[in-house]
Every structure is written in C-alpha cells, then in structure tokens.
C-alpha cells in the first residue's frame, strides 16, 4: 500500500548508522510549539541529528520522520537539497573554504590548493584518520576578510598562504568563544 | 564627507551586543513610540518615507505591507537573514554588532502588520552570528520585549531564529517560506503572493534585515529626516560593502547616492586600490546586478552613458535607479567587489557561472539547463578551447531564461543572466583576444578531455547539431 510506510528491510541493519538519543528526540519535540505544523521542525531536527551523530544517518532520518509524522522520503528529500547536511560520516573537523569571487581575487584558490596538498585529499573528501574533511562553500559572507575559511564553527579571516600550516597545527582551530544561549545545546565535545 | 552614522552607530562599540549598550544609545524608544500609534499609521509613515527594500529588489516596504488582506486573523513576519549573495555582508555586520536594532525593527514591523510570530531565517554558515543573535534574543525576551503583552500594550509577538542549511535560493521569499515549512527551498509560483498566502498558507511579510533595522530610526527621527537623505527616487541611508583588493575593504554607511568611484577611491570608504592597481571592473551591487567597466578604460567624452561602448563607468551613482542606465539590473545589495586590472576575465566568468549553476534549485528547465550550459561553455573558454561563437552562444542563452521573458518561477536566473551577459558584452574584446591566442588545434585535440559531457552531441558552429533543422542526417553521417 502506498499510504503505509513498510520497512521492507531493503537496507541492512548495520548500514542504517546510529540513531538519535532520547534527549535529542525530546528536544526535537520541544520545537513543535514554535510552528503550527510538525513538519516545520525538520531543519532544526536535522541540525540536531548532525550535531549529535556527525551526519544525517538513515536511522536518524527515519526516526525524525516518525517524530514529525512525515514519510521518510520527505526527510530524505530535504536532506539532499541542502548542502550542509551530510549523508555519510564526516571528519572530526570540517574545513569549509570560501570560493566566492572576492575570496578568489584575494587568493582563495591558492589556499584551497595548499589545503588539498597538505591534507592529501580532494574536495568533499575526508582524511584517512578521520580528522579533517574539506569542502567548499559559495560564499561565507566574510568578503572583507577574504580569503576566509571556516573550521566547524570558527571563522579564520584573511588567511595567508603561510598561515595554513599554523592553522592546521593548532588543536583549538575550531573552538569558538561565543557566549552561547541556554536554548542551544553545544555539540558534544569529542 | 562626515556622516553621522545611524545603522552602524554601535559597530565597534565595546560590548555592543548587550541590551544595556543598545538602550544607553537610545534603543527601544522607537518601539514605545510605535505602540502609541495605530498600526495603519505606521504603515502610512513607512509609505511616506518611501522605504525601499534593502534585500536587492528595492520593493517599497510600506506597499508590501499594504497588500495584506485587512480581515486576516494571523500574520507571520519572516526576516530574511539568508544573506547569500556574494559578496554581501552588511546584514552580518549588523547582526554581529547590533542585534537589538534588528529586534526593535521586528517589533515595529510586527506591530504594524499585526504579526503574531516572527521567524528570523539565518543562513547556515552564520554560526558565530547565530550564537550572538540567540543570546541577544534571550535577553530581549527577559527584558519583556518579546512574548505576551509587550510593554503593557496588549500586543503579543514571539520571535524564533530558524537556521538554514546552505542554499542561495532560500533568500528568495517563497523559497525561504518553503524552507521554514520544512521542505526543499524551491520557490513557489506566484500568485498567490506571500501577502495573501505565504507561510503555512497564512498572510506573510518577508523583509530584509537592513530594511527592518531602518524602521526604529524612521520613527524616532521622523520622515523628514529620512527623506532628506538620499536621492530623488531612493531615500535614506544604506550600508555599502566593498571587498576585493582595495586598501580598506569593509562595510560603510552613507546616504544613498554615492558613486562607485567614491566607494573604491574615497578615504571614507575603500581607500583606493591595493598596490595602486587600476580597476578592470566592479560588480557594484552583489554579483547579480552585473559588472561596470573600471578605469582601465577611457572616460566618456562629456560624461555620456553608453553601455555599448568601452568607456569608464565608475561614475555610476549607487541608488535604486541609476545602475539601470548602465545596463545593470538595479542597486542589488550595494555590495561592490572590485576586479583588479591583472585579473583574468575568464576566471571571473568561470566563477560567476559556477556559482549560479550550483545554486539553481532545479525546478525550472531554463534556469537549471541554462546556467549549467553557460558554466560548461565558461569552463571551455577558461581551459583555452573557446571559440568565437561561444560568446554569442552565451549571450543568446542569457536571453532565453529568467523571469523577465517569463520563463522561470523566481528571479535567480535573472540574477544569473545580468552578470554573465554584461561580462561577456563589456569585455568581449578581451575574450576574443584570449580565444585568438589559443594554440591552433587545441580545441579539436582536447575537446573530449576538457568537457566530455558537453560534447556528447556533435557541435557545429557553437551549437549542438540536433538543435538545427535537418541535422539528424548529418549526425548519423558523423557517427558512421
């Protein structure tokens, strides 16, 4: 029946990946009073899954579908549209390099090439030790500080070629010292 | 020109995101004044002030609010903080430094439109800014500026920050609405316009961050002050961004109507080019409006404006109407990126073509295919295998997509065709020179390697052969 969602076990159990914790599920439900429909909590839920698991696993997507009372295909639909959602595990730190015109004119291409060479990976790949993933983004809206890059949440501005080594060596290169709101749970520290 | 900053008055002030700092600088007085007025009067005031939207289209905000049906029960206010247009960052500067100014604007706009819930749609890349905003929002809630019965006026407004996840098209108002609803951010067919059936099929107002931030100042300082600033058609003050190889890239506030030359060379703004280089061209209002020729060209005799001829165009005035005389889309976001004289124009074309082809949402065929094909042609030219016909082909493609010929749902392809068309038209000589300097035989030898996907069909004179009448026969012959 098309209106019923039947798990036909087409995906092996071990390939579903980890699921959401009970606390995260509760937090997703806490978003319901913000919107008149349950489906509108989709993006917050996926952000939560990504913060907790590291990517949007199939199991998490199914669980979100169950909580939001939508078919799992609807969740998959959304995940595949937005570039920030990962459907496979990513590195511990994700380096996002801006490739907009202002950053490119200021030397963004060289920074990207240097990062590729130093990490030994291409765009959208993860280092074998699982430490870094490298992606590009169209614009980080930091154009006056170009070329810029983002490591997890931390922005690195006016990056020069000789800074790349230093940034990669720094163990705290992804730590932000922002005053956080109580409403937003920080991603678990690995 | 010294100018008393209004929108950016707290930028650079220590601890500027705290509610106390904002209140000390006269904050949250406008909202108290607004609650003493009737919602309709505020809309009339904004109409009088002729506040035009700062997000790019320049649509008058008061008119937009006037479209709401009078007998509505529930209105939503969406704040467009999905600032994805490269190289725009004025909203980021505002949110980083003065979130309460935005919140005050939200309160005034919400009261004027009788909104019950406001959603701030922030782009996913803004992580640090999200933390600042969420923290400030908590403070504002605690101080009683959001929630039930705000300041004893009997008006309720809830405000939530909604994070996007990286999609340029979600800056389009219906795309933004779809995204908040938890769907793919694909723009909707209009009509119905959001003012009639928007978010959750209820009347909705979508306004840019900077537009809302102007509201408190219009209320406290009065319409006369606002209309005294700016030019004939464009009133008020605007945050200008300048980036690229200038001495002082950054965000600067000025009344509307400064020239591009001032923005780059004046010490109050960009402070001149780095290393004394000349300007090859400048995208004066975000990429989507198109490019202006820089001062590597000669000045037009007598100050004549003719986008067809190779003259210096830096005297363009940055208000809502003047850029149109130079063949551009409009003011856009007033964020200039300067292309220096030593940059390769093929790199610029490749960058903008790639941007629009990756950010097209894929709903409309003309946009999805058109931007992709332009990107493939740009890659071909960039790789050194361009043909003279390619430039005409790009120009032809840019006339066959977009909202203006009525071929797409949203304005993204219009934003794509203006920069691409103007780059190809205004720098045609350079492209032709690059193509003429290509080594002979390069095209034929390397065609497969460079761009195999684009060459599945045999190309003759810059066109896929099946597009020409009677070529299926030729296709067969070539395959044999």
Q: Of B228, B248, B279, which closes a domain?
A: B228
Tokens of B4: 């008393």
d(CA A151, nearest CA chain B) in Å: 11
Nearest CA in chain B to A181: B135
* Averaged pLDDT for residues B115-138: 90
Q: Of B178, B198, B228, which closes a domain?
A: B228
**Cβ count within 10 A of residue A17:** 18
Nearest CA in chain B to A155: B128
Category of B88 on φ-ψ map: left (φ > 0), alpha (ψ -120 to 50) or beta = beta
* Averaged pLDDT for residues B192-206: 92
Which of B1-15, B24-38, B58-72 has the lowest average pLDDT? B1-15
For residues B11 and B93, is the Cβ–Cβ distance under 8 A? yes
Residue B369 sits in the same domain as residue B401? yes
Residue B135 sits in the same domain as residue B220? yes
H helices present in B125-186, as ranges: 127-142, 173-180
- Is the pLDDT at B4 greater than 90? The verdict is no
Kindly indicate the confidence band of residue A2, based on its pLDDT and cuts at 50, 70 and 90. Answer: low
Cβ pair A143:B88 closer than 8 A: yes
> May I ask the CATH architecture of the domain A93-169?
3-Layer(aba) Sandwich (3.40)
* Averaged pLDDT for residues B240-258: 91
Helix, coil or strand: residue B213: helix
Structural domain boundaries enclosing B256: 237-340
Chain A residues with CB-CB distance to B166 below 8 A:
82-84, 137
Cβ pair B89:A34 closer than 8 A: no
- Is the pLDDT at B91 greater than 70? The verdict is yes
Residue B287 sits in a domain whose CATH number is 3.10.20.600
d(CA A147, nearest CA chain B) in Å: 10
For residues B150 and B157, is the Cβ–Cβ distance under 8 A? yes
Chain B residues with CB-CB distance to A153 below 8 A:
127-128
Cβ pair B132:A138 closer than 8 A: no
Tokens of B310: 């190779």
* Residue B1 belongs to a domain: no
- Asked if the C-beta of B415 comes within 8 angstroms of chain A's C-beta atoms, the answer is no
Nearest CA in chain A to B130: A180
Residue B106 sits in a domain whose CATH number is 3.40.50.11540
Residue given tokens 């030019």 in the structure block: B231
pLDDT, residue B371, reads: 92
- Is the pLDDT at B367 greater than 80? The verdict is yes
Q: How many CB pairs under 8 A join A and B?
A: 166
What interhelical angle do B99-112 and B39-49 show, nearest 10? 120
Nearest CA in chain B to A145: B249
Residue B286 sits in the same domain as residue B411? no
Percent of chain A with pLDDT over 70: 89
Q: What angle do CA B5, B332, B234 make, to 5 degrees?
A: 55
Selected for mutation to probe chain A from B17, B55, B75, B86 (highest A CB count within 10 Å) is: B86
Residues paired with B118 in a beta bridge: B77, B159
Nearest CA in chain A to B131: A180
- What mean pLDDT is reported for chain B? 86
- Asked if the C-beta of B201 comes within 8 angstroms of chain A's C-beta atoms, the answer is no
- Is the pLDDT at B480 greater than 60? The verdict is no
Kindly indicate the confidence band of residue A36, based on its pLDDT and cuts at 50, 70 and 90. Answer: very high
pLDDT, residue B445, reads: 60
Kindly indicate the confidence band of residue B84, based on its pLDDT and cuts at 50, 70 and 90. Answer: confident
The DSSP line for A104-138 is HHTTHHHHHHHHHHHHT--TTEE-TTSSEEEEEES
Name the class of domain A14-81.
mainly alpha
What whole-number distance in Å separates Cα of residue A6 and Cα of residue A18? 20
- Tell me the ipTM for this assembly: 0.89
Residues 214-253 of B with CB under 8 A from A: 241-245, 249-251
Cβ pair B352:A101 closer than 8 A: yes
Q: What is the pLDDT of residues B151-191, one digit of tens each?
A: 888 999 999 999 999 889 998 999 999 999 999 999 999 88
Q: Of B318, B340, B362, which closes a domain?
A: B340
Cβ pair A104:B347 closer than 8 A: yes
d(CA A73, nearest CA chain B) in Å: 11
* Averaged pLDDT for residues A38-59: 92
Residue B265 sits in the same domain as residue B355? no
* Residue B319 belongs to a domain: yes
Nearest CA in chain B to A137: B166
- Is the pLDDT at B378 greater than 70? The verdict is yes
- Is the pLDDT at B131 greater than 70? The verdict is yes
Cβ pair A176:B128 closer than 8 A: yes
- Is the pLDDT at B271 greater than 50? The verdict is yes
Residue B324 sits in the same domain as residue B384? no
Residue B131 is nearest to which of A39, A41, A178, comparing CB atoms? Answer: A178
Residue B135 sits in the same domain as residue B120? yes
Number of domains in chain B: 3
Query: ω before B191 within 30° of 0 (cis)?
Result: yes
Which of A8-17, A35-44, B267-276 has the lowest average pLDDT? A8-17
* Averaged pLDDT for residues B87-102: 91
Q: What is the pLDDT of residues A148-184, one digit of tens each?
A: 999 988 889 889 888 899 999 988 888 877 666 655 5
């Amino acid at each position: 029946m098309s209106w019923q969602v039947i798990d036909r076990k087409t995906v092996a159990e071990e390939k579903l990946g980890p699921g959401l914790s009970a606390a995260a599920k509760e937090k997703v439900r806490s978003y319901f009073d913000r919107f008149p429909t349950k489906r509108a909590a989709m993006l917050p839920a996926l952000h939560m899954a990504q913060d907790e698991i590291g990517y949007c696993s199939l199991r998490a997507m199914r669980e979100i579908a169950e909580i939001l009372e939508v078919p799992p295909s609807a969740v998959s639909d959304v995940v595949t549209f937005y570039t920030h959602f990962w459907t496979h595990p990513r590195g511990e730190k994700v380096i996002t390099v801006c490739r907009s015109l202002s950053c490119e004119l200021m030397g963004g291409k060289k920074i990207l090439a240097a990062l590729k060479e130093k990490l030994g990976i291409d765009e959208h790949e993860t280092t074998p030790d699982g430490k870094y993933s490298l992606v590009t983004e169209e614009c980080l809206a930091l154009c006056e500080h170009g070329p810029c890059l983002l490591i997890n949440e931390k922005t690195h501005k006016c990056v020069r070629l000789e800074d790349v080594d230093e940034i990669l060596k720094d163990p705290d290169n992804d730590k932000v010292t922002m005053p956080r709101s109580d409403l937003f749970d920080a991603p678990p520290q690995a | 020109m010294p100018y008393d900053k209004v929108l950016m008055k707290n930028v650079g002030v220590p601890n500027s995101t705290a509610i106390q700092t904002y209140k000390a600088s006269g904050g949250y007085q406008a909202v108290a004044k607004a609650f003493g007025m009737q919602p309709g009067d505020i809309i009339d005031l904004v109409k009088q002030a002729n506040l035009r939207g700062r997000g790019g289209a320049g649509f008058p905000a008061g008119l937009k609010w006037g479209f709401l049906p009078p007998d509505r029960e529930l209105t939503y206010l969406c704040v467009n903080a999905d600032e994805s247009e490269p190289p725009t960052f004025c909203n980021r500067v505002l949110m980083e430094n003065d979130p309460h100014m935005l919140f005050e604007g939200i309160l005034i706009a919400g009261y004027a439109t009788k909104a019950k819930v406001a959603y701030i749609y922030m782009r996913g890349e803004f992580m640090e800014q999200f933390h600042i905003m969420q923290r400030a929002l908590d403070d504002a809630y605690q101080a009683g500026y959001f929630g039930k019965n705000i300041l004893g006026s009997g008006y309720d407004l809830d405000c939530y920050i909604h994070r996007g996840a990286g999609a340029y098209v979600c800056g389009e108002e219906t795309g933004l609405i779809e995204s908040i609803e938890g769907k793919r951010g694909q723009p909707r067919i209009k009509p119905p316009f959001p003012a009639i059936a928007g978010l959750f099929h209820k009347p909705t107002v979508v306004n840019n961050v900077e537009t809302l931030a102007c509201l408190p100042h219009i209320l406290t300082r009065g319409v006369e002050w606002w209309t005294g600033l700016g030019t004939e058609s464009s009133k008020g003050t605007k945050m200008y961004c300048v980036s690229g190889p200038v001495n002082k890239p950054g965000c600067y506030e000025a009344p509307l109507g400064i020239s591009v030359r001032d923005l780059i060379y004046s010490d109050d703004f960009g402070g001149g080019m780095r290393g004394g280089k000349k300007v090859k061209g400048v995208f004066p209002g975000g990429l989507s409006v198109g490019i202006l020729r820089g001062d590597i060209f000669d000045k037009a005799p007598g100050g004549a404006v003719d986008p067809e001829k190779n003259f210096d165009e830096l005297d363009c005035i940055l208000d809502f109407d003047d850029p149109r005389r130079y063949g551009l889309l409009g003011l856009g976001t007033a964020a200039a990126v300067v292309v220096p004289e030593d940059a390769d124009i093929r790199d610029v074309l490749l960058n903008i073509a790639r941007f629009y082809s990756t950010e097209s949402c894929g709903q409309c065929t003309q946009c999805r295919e058109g931007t992709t094909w332009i990107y493939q042609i740009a890659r071909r030219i960039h790789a050194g295998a361009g043909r003279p016909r390619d430039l005409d082909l790009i120009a032809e493609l840019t006339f066959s997509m977009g909202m203006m010929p009525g071929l797409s749902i949203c304005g993204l392809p219009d934003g794509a065709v203006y920069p691409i068309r103007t780059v190809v038209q205004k720098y045609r000589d350079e492209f032709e020179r690059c193509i003429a300097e290509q080594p002979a035989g390069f095209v034929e030898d390397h065609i497969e390697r460079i761009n195999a996907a684009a060459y599945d069909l045999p190309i003759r004179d810059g066109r896929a052969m099946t597009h020409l009448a009677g070529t299926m026969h030729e296709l067969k012959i070539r395959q044999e």
